[in-house]
Amino acid sequence: MPLVNSKEMFERAYKEGYAIGAFNVNDMEIVQGITEAAKAENSPVILQVSAGARKYAKHAYLVKLVEAALEDTDLPICLHLDHGDSFELCKDCIDGGFTSVMIDGSKLSFEENVALTKKVCDYAHSHVPYVTVEGELGKLAGIEDAVNVSDEDAQFTDPNEVEEFVKRTGVDSLAIAIGTSHGAYKFKPGQKPRLRFDILEEVSKRLPNFPIVLHGASSVMQEYVKIVNENGGRMPDAIGIPEEMLRQAATMAVCKINIDSDLRLAMTASIRKHMNEHPDHFDPRQYLGDARAAIREVVQHKIHEVLGSSGKA
Ligand code: G3H
Ligand code: 13P
Ligand code: ZN
């Protein structure tokens, strides 16, 4: 099966009340860990590449790795650009084999965001085959590759703007800000995690049958924070998005849930543990093999226990 865009994945996910996991990929072990998990769960999956990942691993290597995973698993896999910040970057990815892109104009004014997102949609939609486009309205707190938004600047999505944005741009899905944020420090210790489900509800009323995307959806799994800290790491208290909230969002209009930090954490925990337990090891296949297994375990857990996409391939 060739790479697919996100259209049919989202149509079915919306109808059946689950979400597709969008996991960030940077190297072979991550691609393998994620796709082995998706295979074990017979789940569709989105592999997403940030500008930073593209710089680190190079476009061609990542595309070939994803193609290899496709051949290996025969699953519906969508290759998506995460947080594209310019028309040129989106065009490069579309021309270079990606089946979906995000244009993140959330730091721009509404009018500038509309203009940039429409330009990307016009190009992506006239491409053969059709490339899907994700836009963003509202600002998440935290650090992204191309977008750096401080807590004070974080701004929930205004439901009054979504219809006009979607109509004028032609975007295929929309990322919204309802209280999630990027990275491992989403809520301060002692703070009670809270998502604005009322905004999600209102957005989905304004946009019937339209797929919504949640960024910054790692839960900062405490078992891995513990392993990191028991093995020489120093991660301060970190609180992520509770998995039951993600489960709830997946039953609503949210069709794509972005997870990266939980994978980074699992990978780092397993390598730290491995190094601590085997100070004599110096074959990268030993600790990277463990890291790959840790990624697989986390992704399988997310698919089975949080997203609900098991058996939907
Ligand atoms: O939202 C951003 C993703 O976690 C990717 O992070 O830009 O450091 O690759 P990155
Ligand atoms: P996390 O940092 O919560 O994993 O979010 C990842 C993300 O939104 C990628 O676009
Ligand atoms: Zn993101």
Ligand 1: does its nearest atom lie under 6 Å from the Cβ of 50? yes
Alpha carbon of 8 to ligand 2 centroid (Å): 23
- Residue 144 pLDDT: 45
- Residue 188 pLDDT: 84
Distance, in Å, from the CA atom of 132 to the CA atom of 137, rounded to the nearest integer, reads 17
Task: Please say whether the dihedral angle defined by the alpha carbons of residues 27, 7, 101 and 306, taken in this order, is positive or negative.
Answer: negative
> pLDDT band at residue 149, thresholds of 50, 70 and 90?
low
- Residues 6+ positions from 243 with CB-CB distance below 8 Å: 219, 305, 306
Q: Please state the atom number of ligand 1 nearest to the C-alpha of residue 182.
A: 1
Ligand 1: does its nearest atom lie under 6 Å from the Cβ of 145? yes
Query: In 6-18, which positions are buried (b, 16+ CB within 10 angstroms) versus exposed (e)?
Result: bbebbebbbeeeb
Task: List Cα–Cα distances, 145 to 51, 85, 96, in angstroms.
Answer: 7, 9, 20
Single out the residue of 9, 82, 69 nearest to residue 43, CA to CA. Answer: 9
Q: What is the mean pLDDT of the segment spanning 89-97?
A: 98
Alpha carbon of 243 to ligand 2 centroid (Å): 14
Nearest CA to ligand 1 atom 5: 50
Distance, in Å, from the CA atom of 146 to the CA atom of 289, rounded to the nearest integer, reads 31
DSSP H or E run through 291 = helix 284-301
Q: Give the catalytic positions in this structure.
A: 82
- Residue 236 pLDDT: 83
> pLDDT band at residue 190, thresholds of 50, 70 and 90?
confident
Q: Please state the atom number of ligand 1 nearest to the C-alpha of residue 146.
A: 7
Single out the residue of 121, 40, 93, 54 nearest to residue 298, CA to CA. Answer: 40
How much is the mean pLDDT over the chain? 95
Ligand 2: does its nearest atom lie under 6 Å from the Cβ of 258? yes
Which residue's structure tokens are 């093995």?
231
Mutate to test the pocket of ligand 2, among 259, 265, 267, 268 (most ligand atoms within 8 A of CB): 259
Q: Please state the atom number of ligand 1 nearest to the C-alpha of residue 215.
A: 1
| β partners of residue 214 | 257
Per-residue pLDDT tens over the stretch 101-142: 999 999 999 999 999 999 999 999 999 999 999 999 999 876
Distance, in Å, from the CA atom of 225 to the CA atom of 282, rounded to the nearest integer, reads 24
Mutate to test the pocket of ligand 2, among 20, 23, 24 (most ligand atoms within 8 A of CB): 24
Per-residue pLDDT tens over the stretch 40-61: 999 999 999 999 999 999 999 9
Ligand 1: does its nearest atom lie under 6 Å from the Cβ of 102? no
pTM for this predicted structure = 0.96
Ligand 2: does its nearest atom lie under 6 Å from the Cβ of 264? no
> pLDDT band at residue 274, thresholds of 50, 70 and 90?
very high
Single out the residue of 148, 168, 166 nearest to residue 157, CA to CA. Answer: 166
Ligand 1: does its nearest atom lie under 6 Å from the Cβ of 53? yes
288, amino acid identity: L
